[in-house]
Amino acid sequence: MDISKILNEWPFEALAVTARMIEGDDGRQKIQMRIDLGLIQMEYEGRPDGLLPMGFESYMHYYRSLAGSEENFLLTPRQIFDLRQEGLQYYHRYLSLHQLKDYQGVIRDTRHNLDILNVIANHSSAVENFASQQHRPYVMMMNTSAKIMLKLELNDKSEALKILNAGIRQIKHVYENVLEDPEADLSPEIYQLKELQHRITDDGLPTELPPIEKLEIELQMALLSENYEKAASLRDQIDRSSK
């Protein structure tokens, strides 16, 4: 069916993540995310596409189960692909949930993606592992940010700052000891958390990231996942918004 009417009633915003919660025909909550060529619809719980791989809640749960039952278990290239594609689904959902201020949902989904990275770290080659672990700082930053926002909703700035500082330390550890990058303090993830720290200590309410910074983070993720077509589109959007 032609979905033009739906898209025309919900215009795409190039400089922002746009999402909404709906009730599906089956009575369950679903999340819709508007993208340039249409929209993505995701289940609120379980795998975003609603599938149960091999009867498990997710590929992460399935392959982690295999690893626990098979000695010297090593992920195949296809299994790593399955995990990366699943991680991309959860990535779209936690971006949407963050925009909807459902921070518990963000924590749940970023935790899932960190578990995916743990499975890959423990059961893949060094080359495959390094390629995947480059995503870890960003996922950690989103997880930390959501935990901070929950504390700020309770006006607990002291605990929010403790979580923030712990997050910075953990991300720095990943850059220095996993990614072997000695300039962790220049990373976009630590920069974003320090910006958030500045707003908290200045008694300014943390706000959504400026649109241009969102685009730059999206560009980084597109390059890391080798989605060069999306990266080119994002570069064009950044260039247009900078003029």
Question: pLDDT (tens digit, 9 = 90+) per residue, 105-117?
Answer: 999 999 999 999 9
pLDDT at 237: 77
- Whether 192 and 149 have beta carbons less than 8 Å apart is answered as no
Residue 243 CA to residue 240 CA, distance in Å, equals: 6
Instruction: Record the pTM.
Output: 0.83
pLDDT level of residue 233 (50, 70, 90 thresholds)? confident
pLDDT level of residue 236 (50, 70, 90 thresholds)? confident
Q: Which amino acid is at 44?
A: Y
Q: Provide the residue count of the chain.
A: 243
Contacts of residue 131, Cβ cutoff 8 Å, sequence gap at least 6: none
Residue 116 CA to residue 91 CA, distance in Å, equals: 12
10 phi, psi to nearest 5 deg: -135, 80
Residue 231 CA to residue 14 CA, distance in Å, equals: 13
Contacts of residue 153, Cβ cutoff 8 Å, sequence gap at least 6: 103
pLDDT level of residue 25 (50, 70, 90 thresholds)? very high
| Residue-averaged pLDDT of the chain | 89
CA–chain centroid gap for 156, Å, is: 25
